[in-house]
Amino acid sequence: MEKKGLLIVVSGFSGAGKGTVVKKLVEDYGYSLSVSATTRQPREGEVDGKDYYFKTVDEFRSLIDYNGFIEWAQYVDNYYGTPRKFVEEEMNAGRDVILEIEVQGAMNIKKQYKDAVLIFITAPSAEVLRDRLKGRGTESEEAIAKRLKRASEESEDMDFYEYIVVNDELDTCVQKVNSVILAKKCEKEYNIKLIEDMKSSLKEI
Ligand code: 5GP
């Protein structure tokens, strides 16, 4: 049987640029990207089925009831969840899947998938983060304040992640994240079966 794909969890502060980093990882290195479901309103330019599956609260709740998510969480005032079917199919086909999710979801994933790699993307400093959030221009003052407060809470969980990558320059950040993924795939723990197979085959050869 082909080896299962790796689950790659990418989290980070809102405004740290993780969306752009993830997009480039998918484009440049061909990782699969899980599209989440959410109850939040689409932002301008966002496409249903591409950026998110936009759901009503009732639709979202019934997906929870049918075990349709591998994890879900409430973030600010909305629900977000990772659809089970796509992730399981991709991993079973040996493809590595990126989940761009927040910290509660990341913790939930690590409980279920010990092999998952957890990466946190951050801006170089709190000031840069605030300026990037303001510069995005898609959010009201109130929403920015809420996201900064949330970022402050999330910073408490940064040390839960296995890798912290600063997003100062996009291409460098993308390369660093890809290096983390490649290193993870070379870890001894990730290759137990290969080691066992080599040992037993070499005895017989
Ligand atoms: P945004 O509203 O800015 O698109 O996303 C808000 C936060 O929700 C981000 O931190 C994003 O990574 C997270 N998020 C997106 N999809 C999911 C998901 O399926 N599960 C969880 N737990 N968080 C998600």
Nearest-CA residue for atom 2 of ligand 1: 40
Q: Read off the CATH number of the domain in which 166 is found.
A: 3.40.50.300
26 plus 40 within the same structural domain: no
144 plus 192 within the same structural domain: yes
* 17 DSSP assignment: S
184 plus 127 within the same structural domain: yes
Q: What is the pLDDT along the chain (205 residues), one digit of tens a residue?
A: 568 999 999 999 988 899 999 999 999 999 999 999 999 999 999 999 999 999 999 999 999 999 999 999 998 889 999 999 999 999 999 999 999 999 999 999 999 999 999 999 999 999 999 898 888 777 788 888 888 998 999 999 999 999 999 999 999 999 999 999 999 999 999 999 999 999 999 999 9
Nearest-CA residue for atom 23 of ligand 1: 101
Nearest-CA residue for atom 21 of ligand 1: 101
How far is it, in rounded angstroms, from Cα 153 to Cα 166?
Answer: 18
- Is-contact 3 117, C-beta < 8 A? no
Last residue of a domain, one of 78, 95, 112: 95
| Residue 39 Cβ < 6 Å to ligand 1 | no
**Would you state the structure tokens that stand for residue 129, as one six-digit string?**
């983060």
| Residue 82 Cβ < 6 Å to ligand 1 | yes
Nearest-CA residue for atom 7 of ligand 1: 102
| Residue 101 Cβ < 6 Å to ligand 1 | yes
- Is-contact 139 150, C-beta < 8 A? no
| Domain encompassing residue 63 | 35-95
CA angle 30, 35, 40 (to 5 degrees): 145
Which amino acid, one-letter code, is at 89?
Answer: E
Q: Read off the CATH number of the domain in which 46 is found.
A: 3.30.63.10
104 plus 16 within the same structural domain: yes
